[in-house]
Amino acid sequence: MIRTARKKVTRTAARPKARVLVLVGTRKGAWLYHGDPARRTWRVDGPHFLGHIVNHVMLDPRDGRTLLAAAKTGHLGPTVFRSTDMGRHWKEAARPPAFPKVVEGAPSKPRGRVVDHTFWLTPGHPSEADVWYAGTAPQGLFRSEDGGVTWAPLASVNEDPRYREWMGSEQDGTPDGPKLHSILIDPRDPSHLYFAMSSGGVHESRDGGQTWATLIKGMQVVEGFDPAVLTFHDPHCVRLCPSNPDRLYQQNHCGIYRLDRPGDEWERVGRKMPKRVGDVGFPMVVHPRDADRLWVFPMDGTSVWPRTSPDGLPAVYTSRNGGKTWQRLADGLPQQQAWWTVKRQAMTADAQDPVGIYFGTTSGELWTSRDEGHRWGRIAQHLPEIYAVEAATLVE
Amino acid sequence: MQVLIPTPLRSYTNEQRLVEADGATLAEMLMDLERRYPGIRFRMINEQDRMRPHIRFFVNRDQVFDLAHALRPGDEIFIVQALSGG
């Protein structure tokens, strides 16, 4: 017995300790939450950039220490901040995402566009150190090859007349501007990319972003509109399954979808959600090791679209079989009068076993489950409106 | 000439409230500010060379909306943030 116990201790001591870092972007700054190895207690580090609108904070999983934050303020233009020491010091990008300058009055060219804010940050493929992608509002796709110091626009999207038409006007899309988001990279192939636009549909490139093809078959649009028109498509969040990169899930303005490649037709798996809850929402979360497992946070999409928890009863829904059936997960969440909204970037999973799930609310609460959604507890409250929540693994 | 920097931009000027900058026009003065304090211009002027919505420029206490506005040595320039909302 004693010998067995010693072996166990030795094995445990030799295993690197993994800790979860939760990165929170809000309307008034960013916060970092460092978890203990059991994810029971959290040490807060923040605010960073107090007063800045922080739409996204990401840790580079390739080096485990570089952070990028997409920020602006109410009066100052948008920028990207970079830290290589886990947020102790930040340096601004030398050339943040910006559209090309257009000579005003040139008859053949449309009026030059202006980046209002960088909305989405995606680290590049593991084989492409220092490559990052950014999505902006209004819709623009940008790439950095130097770790986020300088950013270049991808003309194949930003200047293509078809894409400009599909993007609609700045009055279309989400209230604070139409967005390019859900930039996904196939872990098997750095040149195989996806992105989505609200509005503007889902798009795929197999040549590193030089050319793109639309991927909207099977996706529905608001009743009365023509689904053949890209502008009417409003994917809220698209995720690629790390354990099966041929499977994508999507939370759309018009339902929850699954796509299995090489197929090109999305299936509305949200039809299996309870009718009184519906399948409207913003975020989509996938399991790091099980492509049949996903989590969503349904919103009220009836009448004038309150986009709050249906009936004031917040709940996460999960499927264990690719969307064929769904289960409600609300143990520990408020049982009455909780009118939350969870935005598309404000819900995520870690890579631990069991998987931890995290979400932030527009009312400034940060929630977590250490057991894949069965039981929920609160990490923080009284934060500003939460825009983004990401979970990273730090190995000591 | 002297330029008054508003608090949101003082992280670029080592927290200096008043800084020196040169230029025959407001646009040139802003380029000179950028040379001295990299990154500061893009927070005020967008990529189409237009003033951002909540940034205001005053020359000798008169508000100026044209980046081509001529400046003279000794002009006093105020950069003001016009923030609204909660």
| Structure ipTM | 0.90
Burial B26-52 (b: 16+ CB within 10 A, else e): bbbbbbbbbeebebbbbbbbbbbeebb
pLDDT in tens, A165-179: 999 876 666 778 899
Contact A75/B52, CB-based, under 8 Å?
yes
According to the model, what pLDDT value does residue A236 have?
97
- Measure A358 CA to nearest chain B CA, in Å: 27
Selection from A4-18, A45-59, A170-184, A295-309 with the highest mean pLDDT: A45-59
Domain boundaries, chain A: 20-99+114-395
pLDDT tens-digit map of A252-304:
999 999 999 999 999 999 999 999 999 999 999 999 999 999 999 999 988 78
Tens-place pLDDT, residues A350-391: 999 999 999 999 999 999 999 999 999 999 999 999 999 999
Q: Among A77, A112, A113, whose Cβ lies nearest the Cβ of B44?
A: A77
A311-346 per-residue burial string, b: 16 or more CB within 10 A, e: under 16: eebbbbbbbeebbeebeebbeebbeeebbbbbbbbb
How many interchain CB pairs under 8 A, A with B? 55
How much is the pLDDT for A74? 82
Structure confidence at residue A133 (pLDDT): 98
Query: Options 3.40.50.2300, 3.20.20.210, 3.40.630.10, 3.10.20.30; which CATH number does B2-81 get?
Result: 3.10.20.30
For the entire predicted model, the pTM comes to 0.93
Q: What is the mean pLDDT of chain A?
A: 93
pLDDT given at position A73? 86
Contacts of B53 in chain A (CB under 8 A): 75
- The terminus-to-terminus CA distance of chain A in angstroms comes to 30
For residue A2, name the pLDDT band (cuts at 50, 70, 90). very low
Q: Which residues of B touch A79 (CB under 8 A)?
A: 39, 42-43
Nearest CB partner across the interface for A114, out of B38, B46, B83: B46
- Regarding predicted confidence, which is higher, A2 or A54? A54
* Confidence band for A109, pLDDT divided at 50, 70 and 90: low
pLDDT confidence of A108, banded at 50, 70, 90? low
- Out of A79, A92, A115, name the one closest to residue B47 (CB): A115
Q: Does domain A20-99+114-395 have CATH number 2.130.10.10?
A: yes
pLDDT digit string (tens) for A33-47?
A: 999 999 999 999 999
